Amino acid sequence: MELFYKFMVCFAAGIGAGLGTGFAGMSAAAVISPMLITFLHMEAYDAVGIALASDVLASAVSAYTYGKNKNLDIRNGIAMMMSVLAFTVVGSYVSSLVPNQTMGNFSVFMTFLLGIKFIVKPIMTTKEAMGQTDPKKRLIQSILCGMMIGFICGFVGAGGGMMMLLILTSVMNYELKTAVGTSVFIMAFTAFTGAVSHFTIGGAPDPAAFVFCILSTLLWARIAARFANKARPETLNRATGCVLVVLGLLIIGVNYLF
């Protein structure tokens, strides 16, 4: 009975994490961590490690799906990823020097607010409009935005996927599918780095929760990514917005009501 309960919690967490990853490039940690901590009473460090491990395959299969549909900017994605990884370390170090993190709840509410944005003000940028930006300018933007995203994520401790989606669509004027595809491409590498460091420092995770979360997140990320790449821009904006609003409310509920 205990194993079945664990399976149901992990499966439910995987649904939210997978849909968030496949539709919006959202980090699985935003959903899986609070679910495992709240309902399985797991240590926060172990829960984050499992969430990051779930993020690796889910982001990788999503990136493959977006890439196969030509909705992935690898060149600028690699540049942004390198600066994100470097400045996450910087942000983490600065955070250790600050006694009170006033931005601690930033990523919790950001998911909900970003979902509202996609519903109210859809991203309708086309690939043709993206192509008009000078490649050198785009590369510089990728590096500078990656530095900002990495620092904020390191300082706050979460929100990487949401920050990347917001920056790619609002600042760098990416078309939505390309923004999500590039975001999950980056998240696959950052999540792998985080997962390896977590398990190296904290040891092996709960094997059942580890397997259940990875498989559920992978399944739903694959489903969401396939739907997203076939959807019209208007439909994708509404679907992404609805998923983010629901997940945002779920995360807020788990964090503050349970």
Rounded distance between C-alpha atoms, residue 207 and residue 185, angstroms:
26
How does pLDDT run across 10-39, given as a tens digit for each residue?
Answer: 999 999 999 999 998 888 877 898 889 889
- Tell me how far CA of residue 75 lies from CA of 69, 143, 151, 205, in angstroms: 16, 11, 21, 34
Closest-CA residue to 190 (of 59, 92, 74): 59
How does pLDDT run across 51-60, given as a tens digit for each residue?
Answer: 889 999 999 9
Rounded distance between C-alpha atoms, residue 34 and residue 257, angstroms:
12
Residues 208 and 36: beta-carbon distance below 8 Å: no
Residues 103 and 155: beta-carbon distance below 8 Å: yes
Structure tokens at 245: 């609003």
**pLDDT band (50, 70, 90) for residue 258:** low
* H or E element at residue 95: helix 74-97
So what's the pLDDT on residue 229?
A: 95
Structure tokens at 246: 């629901």
The CB density around residue 108, as the number of other CB atoms within 10 Å, is: 18
So what's the pLDDT on residue 104?
A: 47
- Among all chains, which residue has been given the structure tokens 């079945």? 4
Model confidence at 95: pLDDT above 70: no
Between 106 and 90, the higher pLDDT residue? 90
- Tell me how far CA of residue 234 lies from CA of 11, 63, 242, in angstroms: 29, 21, 12
Rounded distance between C-alpha atoms, residue 38 and residue 95, angstroms:
25
Q: What is the pTM of this model?
A: 0.86
Rounded distance between C-alpha atoms, residue 159 and residue 152, angstroms:
8
Between 158 and 256, the higher pLDDT residue? 256
So what's the pLDDT on residue 101?
A: 45
How does pLDDT run across 125-151, given as a tens digit for each residue?
Answer: 888 888 888 889 999 999 999 998 888
Asked whether the CA dihedral 221, 199, 247, 149 is positive or negative, the reply is: negative
How does pLDDT run across 226-239, given as a tens digit for each residue?
Answer: 999 999 988 989 99
